[in-house]
Structure 1
Amino acid sequence: MDMGTAEGITSLLRAEETFSACLARIDSIILKPMLQAEPYDQKGKENFKLLLLLNDRFHALWDVTEDHHRALWQKFSTSTSFHIQDIYIIWKADLFLKHYIQYFTTFSNCVVVQSFDQAAKNKSEAWKHHKTALKQFLTDGIQETSVSLALHTILQKPIREHVQQYSLILTRLSEATGKQCPERDLITSAIKEYAKLQSFISQVLDEASLTKALWKSLGHKLTDALCLPERKLLEDSKNLPIFASTGRSDQVLLFNDALVLVQGSSFQSFDLKVLWVDATCGEKPAPELYSLRIITPEDTFFLSTKEPQIRAVWRWKLSQAVRQALNGKRDFPLWSKAGEGNEPPICRCFKHIFQMEGRLKNAAYEGEWCWGKPHGKGTLKWPDGRNHVGDFKEGLEHGFGICLIPRMSEDRFDCYKCHWFEGKMRGYGICEYGNEMVYKGYFKDDLRQGFGILEGTSAEHPFKYTGQWENDKKNGYGVWDNKNRGERYIGMWQDDHRHGEGIVVTQSGVCYQRTFHADKMVGSGILLLEDDSIYEGSFTEDLLFVGKGKLTFANGFTLEGTFSNKSGQGLQTQGVLNTSSDQLGDRMIKVQLGLNKFPVETRWRGIYDQFLGFVHSGCKEETEESFTGFHVQTSKELRKSQEYLCCQRGAEDVPGKMEDILEELVQHRELELLQCYLQKVLNSSLHPLGKLLKTLTLAFQATYSGTGANRHLLSMAQEEVKHYAKKIWEFYQGLLHLALEQKGHPLAEMEDAETSNLNAYGMILPLILPCFYPELFMLYMLYHEKEDDLYCQGIVDLSLFSDLKLLEFLDVQKHLWPLKDLTLTNNQRRSLIKDKCFLSATECLQKIITTVDPREKLEVLQKTYEEIESTVSRVVGKDYKLPMDDLLPLFMYVVSRASIQHLGAEIHLIRDLMNPTNEGGMYDFLLTALESCYEHIQKNIKLHHRETWQSSRDSRRL
């Protein structure tokens, strides 16, 4: 340690010793007596709390000084070498700065609210006794000063001078340290920080004095309303002339937390955290003025001046004050180059309670702001319990949001989880009403509009409506489930009433088609009863025949005339009974409802319109969520509470953004890529096509599952599935056209109707059929139930035959039997035939029930045929092409041994839904062969079986 360094350390040690003694005297002579008595008035108590805080800050400062003095003395007395770590004011500079800043901040607060003036009036005996001691701390020339001024001087001057002494000692220490010393930079840095501290102390004391003078100049009413210890005056229009537009104020005051416009004895205060300064405004109150536009959540006004320099100063001070208010701390020092050029952010987060009249009056908004308006994520709460959490844009709810609205006179809420557009619900949403109803569907202008599902979950009135909405009412095509009555209505609606053509299906199997007018049945209709009887005419809601009608019984008899039902007398009629048997049983079962009344193109327009609207908008990203539902990027906190209408959330391998989706469409145009791509996107609810499919699936299930599983609705369901495939292909083409257009690629040529239908059958139908298969196949099974019962009985009868007897019975040529080794015993031959005879073909045909795709079912038929032909080729020892006369008996054998349940339903599903390109080809031929086998088994097997056994019995008798 050189001589210069030693002198610096010695000076620091003496300074800390002297300063610590000074603080001890201030504590014993000033602070302790001053704080012995607590005032009784409210204002005095508030000032007393502030003085107590100042006392705490004082002792914290004293403690670090004592720690520093002890460390220096211990090191100085035991060692001749010093390190930078031994000087706390250097390596613990942050700690010292913090305590000095806290002390002078609190001291300035005391000055602002005149705490020292109040303390000087303290009538405590202990305080009176020590007042004379104040003179010991005062310099010559101001011995006769007031007590309040003496307190002000004593509690800040020694401490301020000590900071100056720190700077002098550190400067000398730096000069004594060699330039190459690595510790010199630390000393230089500390010198800069203590220089900033001196500036801070000067500025904060000046600021406090100016603020105190302001409160004295204003009336008591304004001072009481505005004066706060932490509030400091930054600028006054009386010092730097500026005025508010439209004569709003006599005085403009800029504080560290608010901008205040004073007019007479009243004022307006604007929180700086939600205040924006626009210096680029085009409009001005007057051409000769230089203005700043001030934007707040509830008001916009101008501050104007005639001097551009004054405008520039006000703009800078306003911007820096806003920035510091948002940061929650003042600059260090208060006014320095450190804050220059740092503009406050345009977008901020803050809480504000609206006061002015309007829809937001008394509402509290907490969240993101931009230019004085809620913009981004936020929460809006009203005193009556309403609140909205979600996205905002330019002051309005816009994007996804959750809104709670209390119900009148009920301790319940309506919860809306919806998409919003310019303050109103638009797009997809889920609404959980307080009356135990839930709506999942689309909105427009706060009203249910488009496709939606409304379900009542209360035990008293459970129901479900799936269909079209207009102006918040059921309008158009829809399905209503009355779960109490066990009924389903399928048909047209108008203003929440069944209106137009409709079908009613009951759990018991009874169904009818009728015209409705405002929920009342009008005109005649058709009623299909459980016993397969058909009534055509007029009937009541209780299904009682009235008026003219025709009843056709299951046996083909008809009763035509006038029907009536009188209480206690049962059904009465006057008419003609026709007992001629027309064998109408099959025709009656085949009666199908709804085909002519509800053209498939008119059903579920609400679903298609949503998709078309999305495509016509250009598939813009801002409209994507309102169509697809809640996007995967919706915040996790909101998603936790959400249910999704046909949305499966998870790790889906599909692009999340619309621009990526359109890009993939262009990249997968080739046929070999398109099939896999469509399969992937149709399984994703995040893709528009996948969303469309899942919504159609919901509509289909709502119509044809449960109560709707009625054989008389099969044709409606089957044509709907075909139409879905056409629409999805059509919409795929529309998306592709849009993608090519946006990418600037050559547009694809529009397909003709025939090509479009072929692509729908060949490309789309196999991919979407699994979604509808359970309900659709159930309808096929019910439709062909009687035929399949006959077929099953035929299979049971044929199972009684041994393999040899069955081959012989079916007239299969013996040279085609898979048995040549005649040396085997009879038992061995039977065993061989049972285990090996066309077993591979039988097992192959059984796979027809393992797939839902008609094309794959046809492939199973072809493989079965190939297995039969392969087996025969092995038997005859050469390639053998089966002629029709040989194929049908062998195919009959395989079908009988495969024992496929509901084979009639399988056959008709394949026939109805297979690709038209397969008509007339090999697949069509094999399907026709299967149909022949099926019909032969159900109609002729019993007769042949009986004749065979009768001939055998006669032969034995002879």
Structure 2
Amino acid sequence: MSVPDVASSLLRLEETFSACLGRINAVIFKPLLRAGSFENAKLFFQLNDHFQAVWDLTEENHRRLKETLDVSESASARDVYLIRKTDLFCDTYIQYFSTFANCVVVQGFDHAARNKSEIWKLHKPSLQQFLQDFSLDTSITVALHTVLQKPFQDHLQQYSLVLSKWKETADQGPEKEAAANAAHQVAKLRSFVSQALDEACLTRSLWKSLGHKFVDILCVPERRLLEDSQNLVVFTNTGRSDRILLFNDVLLLLQGNNFQSFDLKLVWVDATSRETGRNTIHIRTPEEQFFLLAQKPETRAVWEWKLNQAVRQALNGKRDFPLWGEAGEGQDPPLCRFSVFTFKGEGRFKNATYEGEWCLGKPHGQGKLTWPDGRNYVGDFKEGLEHGFGICLVPRISEDRYDCYKCHWQEGRMNGYGICEYGNETVYKGYFKDNVRQGFGILENFSPTEPLFKYTGHWENDKKSGYGIWDDKERGERYIGMWHEDQRHGAGVVVMQSGVCYRRKFHMDKMVGSGILLLEDDSAYEGNFTRDLTFIGKGKLTFPNGFTLEGTFANKSRHGLQTQGVLNTSGEQMDDTLAKLQLGQEEFPVERRWEGLFSRFQEFVSSGGQAEMEEAFMGFHVQTSRELRKSQEYLFCHRGTEEAPGKADFLEELVEHQEKEAMQNYLEQALRTSLHPLGKLLKALTSVFQATYSGIGANKHLLAMAQEEVKYYAKMIWEFYQGLVHLALDVKDQNPEEDTKERDLNGPGLILPLILPSFYPEFLMLYMLYHKKEDDLYCQGIAELSLFPDVKLLEFLDVQRHLWPLKDLVLTSNQRQSLIKDRCFLSATECLQTLITTVDPREKLGILQNTYEEIEKTVLRVLGKEYSLPMDDLLPLLMYVVTRASIQHLGAEIHLIRDLMDPASEGGMYDFLLTALESCYQFIQKETRLPQNWQASEDF
């Protein structure tokens, strides 16, 4: 047969089939759809829609082919609609036969045949005649079933024959290839139709065999029976089961009059288990596990394959084409999936709905849990439990508020760092263990209706225990000291907004024993006193003028404070021992203050620096907003827009920056960002330092405590850095002892200038308060000396006259003094004034050296020759520059430099210049009081 003959044959085939479809439409669909409502009528409306689509497609194919043959006697494959649009034909027939199968499953043709409407009765003779034409002499039910599927199957068979002939007669090339592809697709379609009808008939038979209780609940038009376990033994947790049925969407377990249904999307098939025999299949679901035991290996293999393919198709959301054909053959469903499930069994998840990732029947990966009472958890899971980072919302009883927990979880419990915003406007940032606050943490209350407070310190079993700082913002006082069971217990220091501070011992929140009370006027009391600072019992009061009152004190409310004792008015000047007494050093050893904070970082290093555990150990940055607390969007909040560097990244950089200069640059960058472990540590230390010494804690009696704390920070950060370096070398399989070069390095000294800016504002304030008395005298001296003209000041300071820069002076004829002040040694003065613009003690010493060099340059210009300044000449010149620079709080600056300078600088040029600056500072305090009749000599 030639191609033209094949095309003509196809044209006649479509014409005949179209006429048949017209009769089916007139005799069956029109009267049935006009007959009114009957059971499953909706399915017949859907079937009619797909029937009309097949008819339209047939007509379109006929029309186009006829137009082609009218123009020419032959047609190419690209001109034939059936060949060009084979996918469209297949989809249309699939939809028709799928709906037809749905009607079969729910016995839709039985219901249609029993329709008692007058319209249907009037058309029954026409239907009978139509059935006789089909040679069908049977019931209406069987006839409907046959008429609505057999012509379509026969037509598909004719399509196969025509396309096969087209493939045989076409020449080699695109024509033959197109026809062959169309023939293959139609063959697969016929296989799909045959399998779909078989499944439908098998499923209908099942529903007829089961009781109405099961059918009413389980019979769904789209549900198909794939396999029946009549040849299997099923073992469950509660014993042996009667029967198991595999459908295309669920796995059904029958046990007497009861059943359990398992969504195939959440069924895992483990054929490797041999717990009850070698022909066993282990079935896992979110809440149940059971075993299928086959008598023969062949049976087990069939069930395993069908189970896996059914699960895979359910996950894909569509059946294979054909149903057990090429599309999924040999592919097993993935172990990790995304699905939704509501837990029914007893346990912590009862009635909770989980939406997220699963693995082997358990939540695993990222997901969301929602309870009916409003609880929510969004985050990471591992093997069925919250594990990793997660956010949990818990509604408060009888309140329209939530407690929000954003933290790390381990095996279903909060473990690691977390940020918790409670519904009462209290926020906790710190560490948890087994759902309770444990380790270091900060608890702060922001409620406008409750007393404001802030606790920064250690916790044990959800209670304040160990070293901690308590801010009572209502009373305006801060407690620094030890805690036990939420009570102040042990040594403690209290500082107040007024400047008063005291040291006491506490026992379960009550003061015991004697203590020392330091008042704002520098009076000091040693003895017993109440919390409202009332003296009680024996004590000694030392006044600022050196007088002492020692005796027994009592408080009579009507008569005020009374005492019996000895008043010593010998007039001896009180030294600075009590006025500058330092608290906290002996009571709170620096290495024990923040153990819970440093231990987390040490644990991170010892754990191998695991990037996935970095947040749990060291905290994270998260944007918080109480306004979003109730919204679902809040559950998906991000912990920052930047991604933290992974373990491999920062460890690689550590190894690459081991030379001193590169190391210093690396440390500076690492400490600057909270994305690096070193930066995270510095950020945490900054928060505890500010909690202790800012605001109320800016008390001069805490300076020494702050000094040793900052130095200890530098020591611990250096140790932490060294631990990371060793870890990095270990990762690269290098021996730290061999590959780390010996360096003449003072590690803490290298770190201190880098971290000092983070603490400098609070630190400098403590220095200013501590040295306020000396700085006040210094400022008074500067105020007097600033009134002097240049010449008079140079003369007063005993600057050698041959060193005076006369070219810089504009003199009158009568008075040998400068008309424009502050012009002498101007460059040195401006250089020294930059001292207050820097934080690093090294930079401050560098500025001091630059000032000295500027003085030398001016002297060189004046003398016109090289001249080495002896101390007797340098000190007056430096005194002049210091006076003209007028630096406020110079005493605080000098002592800060002295206390924090690198020990390697002691005895060198820096030490010499700093000593000279100290001498100038002391001179200005003590030696600037001039006799009223003092005048500068007019002789040069």
The equivalent position to 1:595 in structure 2, one of 585, 607, 626, is 585
Counterparts of 1:234-249 in structure 2 under 5 Å?
A: 234-238=226-230, 240-244=231-235, 248-249=240-241
After alignment, is 266-275 or 826-835 more displaced?
826-835
- Partner residue of 1:916? 903
CA distance in 2 between counterparts of 1:821 and 1:730 reads 54
- Show the counterpart of 2:23: 25
* Counterpart-to-counterpart distance in 1, 2:339 and 2:636: 25
Q: TM-score with structure 2 length normalisation?
A: 0.95
1:950 and 2:933 aligned: yes
How far 1:729 moved relative to its partner? 1.1
Letter in 1 for 2:908: G
1:419 aligned partner, one-letter code: H
Equivalent residues in 2 for 1:445-594, closer than 5 Å: 445-459=434-448, 460-584=450-574, 586-594=576-584
Counterpart position of 1:772: 759
> Deviation at 1:264?
2.5
Whether 2:748 is the aligned partner of 1:760: answer yes
Deviation (angstroms), 1:502? 1.1
User: Hey, what does 1:438 align to over in structure 2?
Assistant: 427
Question: For residues 440 and 834 of structure 1, do their structure 2 counterparts lie closer, same or farther at Cα, with a shift above 3 Å needed?
Answer: same
1:628, 1:686 within 8 Å by CA — same for their partners in 2?
no
2:65 to 68, 72, 85: 72
TM-aligned CA deviation for residue 750 of structure 1:
13
Shift of 1:793: 1.2
The match for 1:741 is 730
Deviation at residue 162 of structure 1 after TM alignment:
1.4
Q: Which secondary structure does the structure 2 equivalent of 1:703 belong to?
A: helix
Answer yes or no: is the 8 Å Cα contact 2:279–2:293 preserved in 1: yes
What secondary structure sits across from 1:192 in the alignment?
A: helix
- 2:393 counterpart letter in structure 1: L
> Can you list the C-alpha shifts for 1:30-87, whole angstroms capped at 9, x where unaligned?
1121122344xxxx54x11112111121122222222222333333334556444432
The 5 Å alignment of 1:350-361 reads 350-361=339-350
Amino acid at match of 2:85: K
Asked whether the 8 Å contact 1:134–1:150 carries over to 2, the reply is no
User: Which of 681, 685, 689 is equivalent to 2:670?
Assistant: 681
Aligned equivalent of 1:617, options 585, 603, 607: 607
For residue 832 of structure 1, report the CA deviation from its aligned partner.
Answer: 9.0
SS at match of 2:241: coil
Pairs within 5 Å for 1:798-809: 798-809=785-796
The structural deviation recorded for 1:823 is: 11
Change (3 A) 1:427 1:331: same
Q: Does 1:166 align with 2:159?
A: yes
The code of the aligned residue for 1:279 comes to: A
Q: Which moved more, 1:448-457 or 1:162-171?
A: 162-171
Give the match for residue 375 of structure 1.
364
Offset, 1:821: 9.7
Question: In the aligned structure 1, how far is the partner of 2:222 from the partner of 2:904?
Answer: 85
The partner residue of 1:264 within 221, 242, 256 is 256
Question: What's the offset of the Cα at 1:735?
Answer: 2.1
Shift of 1:8: 2.3
Aligned twin of 1:699: 688
For the structure 1 residues 632 and 530, does the alpha-carbon distance in structure 2 shift closer, same or farther, using more than 3 Å as the test?
closer
Equivalent position amino acid for 2:88 in 1: L
User: Does residue 1:404 correspond to 2:393, yes or no?
Assistant: yes
- Say whether residues 1:927 and 2:914 are aligned partners: yes
Q: CA deviation at 1:621?
A: 2.9
- Indicate conservation of the 8 Å contact 1:414/1:431, yes or no: yes
Corresponding residue of 2:326? 337
Residue identity in the other structure for 1:323: R
SS at match of 1:410: coil
- Separation of aligned partners in 2, 1:585 and 1:255: 95
Match of 2:147 among 143, 146, 154: 154
- The residue that corresponds to 2:629 in the other structure is none
Give, in angstroms, the shift of residue 632 of structure 1.
9.9
Amino acid at match of 2:257: S
> Does residue 605 of the first structure (1) align with residue 595 of the second (2)?
yes
Q: Distance in 1 between matches of 2:526 and 2:388?
A: 53
Q: Which string of whole-angstrom CA distances, capped at 9 and with x for unpartnered residues, describes residues 320-351 of structure 1?
A: 11110100000001112332211111111111
Identity, in percent, stands at 66
Greater CA drift, 682-691 or 821-830: 821-830
Residues 691 and 823 (structure 1 numbering): CA distance in 2 closer, same or farther, change over 3 Å? closer
CA contact (8 A) 1:555 1:585 kept: no
Change over 3 Å in CA distance of 1:835–1:436 after alignment to 2? closer
Q: Could you say which residue in structure 2 is the equivalent of 1:4?
A: 2
Given the alignment, which residue of 87, 92, 110 partners 2:80?
87
CA shift in 2, pair 1:304/1:650, >3 Å: closer
> Is the contact made by 2:364 and 2:380 (CA closer than 8 Å) also made in structure 1?
yes
Q: Which residue of 1 aligns with 2:628?
A: none
Structure 1 residue 623 displacement after superposition: 2.0
Residue 99 of structure 1 pairs with residue 92 of structure 2? yes
For 1:664-679, list aligned pairs within 5 A.
Answer: 664-679=653-668
CA distance in 1, matches of 2:670, 2:634: 22
Following the alignment from structure 1 to structure 2, what is the Cα–Cα distance between the partners of residues 517 and 827?
77
Return 5+ residue gaps in structure 2 as ranges: 625-631
In 1, Cα distance between the equivalents of 2:268 and 2:115?
A: 45
Q: How many residues align?
A: 929
Partner of 2:827: 840
Q: Is it true that 1:864 corresponds to 2:829 in the alignment? A: no
Q: Deviations over 1:259-311 (max 9, x none)?
A: 1122332222221110011111142x24xx51111111111111011211111
| 2:315 alignment partner, one of 326, 333, 348 | 326
Q: Is 1:797 the counterpart of 2:784 in the alignment?
A: yes
Q: Give the TM-score normalised by structure 1.
A: 0.93
Q: Equivalents in 1 of 2:659, 2:909: separation in Å?
A: 27
The answer (yes or no) to whether the contact 2:546–2:571 under 8 Å persists in 1 is yes
Shift of 1:147: 0.8
Conservation of the 8 A alpha-carbon contact between 1:375 and 1:391: yes
Q: Write the deviation string for residues 377-421 of structure 1: whole angstroms up to 9, x where unpaired.
A: 111111121121101011011100011111122221111101011
Matches of 2:925 and 2:381, distance apart in 1:
68
Q: In 2, distance between residues paired with 1:686 and 1:817?
A: 56
Is the 8 Å Cα contact of residues 380 and 387 (structure 1) preserved in structure 2?
yes
1:95–1:209 Cα change, 3 Å: same
Q: Select 2:104's aligned residue among 111, 123, 134.
A: 111
Which residue identity is paired with 2:17?
F
User: Does 1:223 find its partner at 2:211?
Assistant: no
Paired letter, 1:519: D
Partner of 2:13: 15
The equivalent position to 1:906 in structure 2, one of 860, 879, 893, is 893
Shift of 1:840: 0.9
Q: Within 2, Cα distance between the matches of 1:740 and 1:827?
A: 78
CA contact (8 A) 1:555 1:584 kept: yes
Residue 490 of structure 2 contacts residue 507 of structure 2 at CA under 8 Å; is this kept in 1? Answer: yes
SS of the aligned residue for 1:701 comes to: helix
Which consecutive unaligned segments of at least 5 residues does structure 1 have?
A: none
Q: How far 1:610 sits from its partner (Å)? A: 1.0
C-alpha contact 2:481 2:493 (8 A) present in aligned 1:
yes
Return closer, same or farther for 1:808/1:145 CA change in 2, 3 Å cut-off: same
Cα shift at 1:831: 5.7
TM-fit CA distance, 1:96: 1.5
- Measured against aligned partners, the alpha-carbon deviations of 1:541-587 in whole angstroms (never above 9, x if no partner) come to 11111111111112111111111111221111111111122222644
Decide whether the 8 Å contact of 2:552 with 2:565 is kept in 1.
yes
* CA distance in 1 between partners of 2:253 and 2:780 (Å): 97
| 1:137–1:154 Cα contact (<8 Å) kept | no
